[in-house]
Structure 1
């Protein structure tokens, strides 16, 4: 019987609620903690659970060096416990390349992750850091990038969370291309607790409320005959860094929709210093009664927010992939997002070249549109039922008018909402946790 593949996974975050890298660490731990083929050891700064293969980093220094030192110690101990003829170094997998530190000199197979957009937007991000946060932040950013560059060049494999990030890594650090691979971040796909029928009355197959057997259908909340009150169109926004995620663009787009009952729930902490101006902006734009700042949500609360929303809007200025887009698709929630970073890898299939919502096309109608990359040429005509070749609406970044047009388009087109919602879970399944885990299992086998 072949011995198990030993893997030491080092992460500075192990928090399922707060961060993408933390959720990723949880996915790997749940998949491999009791695996028969992979002997998976996880090193982190703190953990709420106890397990023989879960190691809490100790000692002095910053969190990166503490995790690195403990990971190297665990790897060395695993090597020493093997028989003299089988003393091989385990695979060392680091959750963020800039956290590798002294692990760049590791004598065994080294896998590093590049999870963010900053490497792709390095100089513009550095300039912004200097202007907004001063020289200390800029120095920290440069230090981080130098560590990342050293780790990427030393790694057996560098794993990027999107093709967009992979291209950026190759351009910025010039490692051997065959050592840099893409494994998209994943999302759990399945029925959401508290899911609600989110389609308008017109899209319900039942002719009237009496004939409708779906208790969650909009029929249950439809005004009595003769009443004219409208059903609000509910938007969700999810993000930690509201400037990067473009919340100001969304607020300005909503201000252009003053005559419509469009409401927004913002998930993310308004107490973060960089986010407080956005709360004030909502007030200045007269949106206080239409925007709810829900604070930081745990996973069940986030699922509930998506379940009661008509659309997720993510007008990011920069985005490595867009995990919240995947979460919305998995929940069957239509998506409006910007055509930046790795988002188009999710929203449109390979070969699908449309970019902008029909409302932002300069042509008055499809017949007058000679640009085959625009949505005019890819949307079915009214009444047609063929499946859509895309999974959401993409708009240009930093463009409130185009974003407002896309919101109106989605709010007014019940059939488009229905088709996008129906297509979402199948698309999200292509980014499932199970598929991601299979790819990492194959990677561990390859580099052992």
Structure 2
């Protein structure tokens, strides 16, 4: 197979807006052999005319029969561009999050994006999902043939065990401050346990939904938590590693989550996780080799359940010890990014052979 053409959104390397999807794309490209990257800027999945023209031109320049992997954020909203090209190219689409599943969309817009995504995916030679849950969702929701939908989960690098602070009080939530990530739910839960000795760091991009960020800041102040909930913005590299190193418990209160890369990033450091049992998160959390679960799962959108879980974490040292031991065992069996690249290479090679 010749070089794989990988089509990426324009912000893939923008450290000011780190995301699980961008990290996945970058690590994947670094691990694949013979990659030709095509970076297309635009307001995906609803681009303007300039971005549409750029994508159409880039795809038109690829020779017939070549294998092309498109990030779903770019591809799924523009079937009028992708579907005609899929007739002459070997197209695979990588879906990080189904477009219509984004939190806060107006029903009409969600339905429109959903229909556009379905048209695009039905035309693709292969569809790649980042979790078993997401693969099942795409097959059932869009009526895709099961044999064309492949699971290539994110990897995670081995990291030193996090020393934490006192073993209990330092909480860390790594996620973009958007409605889907549920920071508002976490603030309400933290307010309900304000009598306990915790601090919580919110680390993640603030620019994707500035209005929501302001709502979160107001909510924090309303509950008098300004000195305890620290909104620090996006962290990458050493600052992010330091934040994990200081954490005793990672918290992910999402309303929707295809995979939840921050779960494995915490587990790679032996940090237990408190998360909502939504979509792909339970599979991502998984089990340690001894059958224990390295975290606490609560229903999505349930502030009382979050608060109860936090009280349990603080109030029962035996629970903390068991969760920490389980997280360290789970750490030993997490798959690296090299396995992600290997699995994607297999999918793309198969797609190329089918074309031959």
TM-score, normalised via structure 2 length: 0.85
3-state SS in 2 of match to 1:302: helix
Q: Specify the alignment match of 2:105 in structure 1.
A: 129
1:398 aligns with 2:336: no
3-state SS in 2 of match to 1:313: strand
Closer/same/farther in 2, CA of residues 427 and 66 from structure 1, 3 Å limit:
farther
Q: Specify the alignment match of 1:25 in structure 2.
A: 25
3-state SS in 2 of match to 1:11: strand
Deviation at 1:164, TM superposition (A): 1.9
C-alpha distance in structure 2 between counterparts of 1:419 and 1:313, whole Å? 17
Q: Specify the alignment match of 1:72 in structure 2.
A: 60
Q: Specify the alignment match of 1:412 in structure 2.
A: 315
Instruction: Judge conservation of contact 1:322–1:342 (CA < 8 Å) in 2.
Output: yes
Deviation at 1:434, TM superposition (A): 1.6
Q: Deviations over 1:398-418 (max 9, x none)?
A: 222211121122223344334
C-alpha distance in structure 2 between counterparts of 1:319 and 1:258, whole Å? 27
1:40 aligns with 2:35: yes
Deviation at 1:99, TM superposition (A): 5.3
Aligned pairs for 1:36-435 (under 5 A) are 39-45=34-40, 61-73=49-61, 75-76=62-63, 89-96=65-72, 97-98=75-76, 101=79, 102-105=81-84, 106=86, 107-119=88-100, 121=101, 125=103, 128-130=104-106, 138-139=108-109, 141-191=110-160, 195-198=162-165, 200=167, 233-270=169-206, 272-349=210-287, 387=290, 389-424=292-327, 427=330, 429-435=333-339
Q: Specify the alignment match of 1:56 in structure 2.
A: none
* Runs of 5+ consecutive residues of structure 2 not aligned to the other structure: 42-47
Q: Per chain length, whose mean CA-contact separation is higher, i.e. which structure has more relative contact order (CA < 8 Å, sep 6+)?
A: 2
C-alpha distance in structure 1 between counterparts of 2:179 and 2:238, whole Å? 25
Q: Specify the alignment match of 2:45 in structure 1.
A: none
* Runs of 5+ consecutive residues of structure 1 not aligned to the other structure: 47-59, 80-88, 132-137, 201-231, 353-385
Q: Specify the alignment match of 1:14 in structure 2.
A: 12
Deviation at 1:68, TM superposition (A): 4.3
C-alpha distance in structure 2 between counterparts of 1:312 and 1:302, whole Å? 13
Instruction: Judge conservation of contact 1:387–1:419 (CA < 8 Å) in 2.
Output: no
Closer/same/farther in 2, CA of residues 143 and 174 from structure 1, 3 Å limit:
same
Closer/same/farther in 2, CA of residues 296 and 327 from structure 1, 3 Å limit:
same
Instruction: Judge conservation of contact 1:268–1:294 (CA < 8 Å) in 2.
Output: yes
Deviation at 1:333, TM superposition (A): 1.0
Deviation at 1:65, TM superposition (A): 4.5
Q: Specify the alignment match of 1:219 in structure 2.
A: none
C-alpha distance in structure 2 between counterparts of 1:244 and 1:421, whole Å? 27
C-alpha distance in structure 2 between counterparts of 1:40 and 1:23, whole Å? 16
TM-score, normalised via structure 1 length: 0.68
C-alpha distance in structure 2 between counterparts of 1:270 and 1:8, whole Å? 31
The structure whose Rg is larger is: 1
3-state SS in 1 of match to 2:49: coil
